[in-house]
Amino acid sequence: MRRALPIFVVLAGLLVAIAIVNPYFLEPPAFLAFVKRAAPLVILAAGQYFVIVSGEFDLSVGSLVTAEVVIAARLIDGSAEATWPVLALMIAFGLIVGLVNGIVTTLLRVPSFITTLGMLLILSGAVFLWTGGSPRGALSEQFRQLGRGSLGPVPWSVLILAAVAAAAVCAMRAGFGHTLVAAGDNDRAAALSGVRVARVRTVAFMISGLSAAVAAILLGGFAGVSAQVGKGLEFQAITAVVLGGVALGGGRGSVAAAMAGAFTLEALFTLLNLYGISGALEPAVQGVIIIAAVALGAVRFPRARAAAAS
Amino acid sequence: MTQQLKLRPVPAGGSLIRRLSADRPARPVYVALALLVVLGWLVFALDGGAFLSQENIVGIQQRSAALGIVAVGQTLVILAGSLDLSVAYLISLTSLVTAEIMAGSDTGVPVAVAAALAVSALTGLVNGLIVTRLRVHAFIATLGVALVIRGALDARYDGPAGSVPESFQHLGYDRIGPLPVSALLWAAVAAGAWLLLSRTRLGYRIYAVGGDTEVARLSGVRTERVVVAAHVLCSVCAGIAGLLLASRLGAGAPTVGTDGGYDLESIAAVVLGGTALAGGRGGVAGTVGGVLLLAVLDSIFNQLEVNSFAKDVVRGVILVAALAIYARRRRTR
């Protein structure tokens, strides 16, 4: 947990910095709007955390989000009755994609970087092949409510985020979480102590697929249907997780910190906007800050890292 | 017993040079390439074309030259146990640097080439230092550098800029007999990298560091320098690809690298060629095979007029299937 502390300090600092520029930011409506905007990335980061802590990568989540949104729009096509079955289908599709990623990675022993890169190519190609190059159809009003509507003052997406966060923390506290971290830290040792490494890793991939489905539901409602909706999200999610102090390669870091990393990234975007750093320079600033943040995290514990690496 | 012999083509007691330079993992990719060429020949014959015609072969070489050069560089970093996701943006950047400095005049050519290579070497140095000195995982380090380059490009350019003189365009389009100059350039880069890996100290050290950093360090290798050198060489390769693309386009373009997907695609070509993503095993010969495989596949798709999205699907399937087969072979060994 001590490892996770810096990210919360950074997040608090960023929120204060935003509040100084924009005093209304910390009032409930504005803050809830911020959380609502951040929710899809935070959920994706939580899903990505499970995969990364088990020692793997998931590069397919961005194209999975796009695929889910495009499929939903095509199947719903504006009709209200289709909403719930399609939602169920999206969840199932996310789980299946995760299952395939997991099985190919664990049973066929393909490095997850390549498995999920292949999945990225397959998903983006297949979806656009099916829709003929540009997304068609429309989401129904009920569907969009999840992304943009609210229950009283609290947006639905914030409630969903809270539920996802609680579930993620519980999962990591349960036996599953411990075996997952053990598998990520040293899979041989874990296997010898009776962990079914292939199984827990596959489940981690399925959780990541599920989180992509949930993020797609929120993003579809929030941002609408486009072929760009999930673009670059896989890198943002991985960056968020690493910002949270989770080691690439697995075995270290907490899910709360990973989600805080996603909030930090989103707060950073907000702050850059407020300071009028235009869209063009934004990636440059983002790149420098990411490297700096990860470098600081690494320099602080060089001994722990070297010991763990050997 | 015969089976065992088939699976271990090189005896474990072979000399160090043979074991390090023999691209054992490269064999399956050439088998696959041969099969694909036969398939291509059949497809073209049924379709009324000629696969082994000069135009088609030249086309394949020309299309694959840029990716091939980047992939050779990527091989070096991957062998050293690292990774470079910044090559795509770096290619765009060097294409712009080249075209802007040349500005259509012949006198600017040497300066522009030198500047483009210097910019790429510097980027590689930065990548390498971030990975080794700041101990940032290569994935994040090069992704961050990619973002920085992207920001600089977005801020300055909205579209193609600069221009390249006629004389420099020869690099992209000319042929010496049946061989395009670009393919010769690729061959030269690949041969250089092969010599580096199989005949020089740095080459052995790249394998050693990629295989096990800690063991290499304990054996007296300055591991950090090796990783930095690999990154510099990789970025210079990307810079050469940028020069080539600038000469093809006649100008620099801020999206030429990302449109080509050179970052992920070069990694895909490297691993298709049997180089282990974790480092320390593989080689340039396999990468060349991997790039040619992708190019032949492309030419078959073009002949069949397959939708470009379907190409992506098939590529993804082939990538995963190939790696699954490699993993099987390694386990049975």
What does the pLDDT look like over B218-260, one tens digit per residue?
Answer: 999 999 999 999 999 999 999 999 999 999 888 889 988 888 8
Q: How many CA atoms lie within 13 A of B107 on its CB side?
A: 0
CA distance B284 to chain A (A): 19
Inter-chain contact A129–B155, Cβ cutoff 8 Å? Answer: no
pLDDT computed for residue A2 by the predictor: 54
Asked whether the beta carbons of residue A235 and residue B320 sit closer than 8 angstroms, the reply is no
- Fold held by A2-22+33-309: ABC transporter involved in vitamin B12 uptake, BtuC (1.10.3470)
Out of B140, B267, B271, closest to residue A294 by CB: B140
Contacts of B317 in chain A (CB under 8 A): 118, 122
Query: How close B119 comes to chain A (CA, Å)?
Result: 17
Nearest-by-CA chain A residue for B153:
A280
Which of B309, B331, B332 has the highest number of chain A CBs within 10 A, making it the mutation to test binding with A?
B309
**Cβ distance B83 to B127 under 8 Å?**
no
Is B317's CB within 8 Å of A118's CB?
A: yes
Cβ <8 Å between B136 and A238: no
Q: What is the pLDDT of residue A301?
A: 44
Q: What does the pLDDT look like over A176-209, one tens digit per residue?
A: 999 999 999 988 899 998 889 999 999 999 999 9
**Number of CB pairs < 8 Å for A and B?**
145
The reply to whether the predicted model has a pTM over 0.90 is no
| Among A109-118, A240-249, B163-172, the range of highest mean pLDDT | A109-118
Asked whether the beta carbons of A250 and A52 are under 8 A apart, the reply is yes
What ipTM, to 2 d.p.? 0.81
Residues A133 and A122: their CA atoms lie apart, in Å, by 14
B311 to chain A, closest Cα gap in Å:
7
- Least Cα separation, residue A156 to chain B (angstroms): 33
Among chain A residues, the shortest Cα distance to B86 is held by A287
CB contact under 8 A, B327 and A108: yes
B119 in reach of chain A (CB within 8 A): no
Token reading at B203: 């080459």
Distances, alpha carbon A125 to alpha carbons A98, A121, A128, A133, A276, in Å: 18, 6, 6, 9, 37
Mean pLDDT calculated for residue range B100-116: 90
- Listed by start position, the domains of chain A span 2-22+33-309
Interface of B with A in 132-171 (CB under 8 A): 134-137, 139-141, 143-152, 154-155
| CB–CB contact A109 B147 (8 Å) | no
The confidence score (pLDDT) of residue B48 equals: 76
> What is the rounded distance in angstroms from the CA atom of residue A206 to the CA atom of residue A214?
12
Mean pLDDT of B160-177: 84
Residues of B in contact with A120 (CB under 8 A): 264, 316
* Long-range contacts, B55-61 (Cβ 8 Å, 24+): B56/B299, B57/B178, B58/B175, B58/B178, B58/B180, B59/B299, B60/B292, B60/B295, B60/B296, B60/B298, B60/B299, B61/B179, B61/B180, B61/B182, B61/B183, B61/B186, B61/B295
Residue B20 has pLDDT above 60, yes or no: no
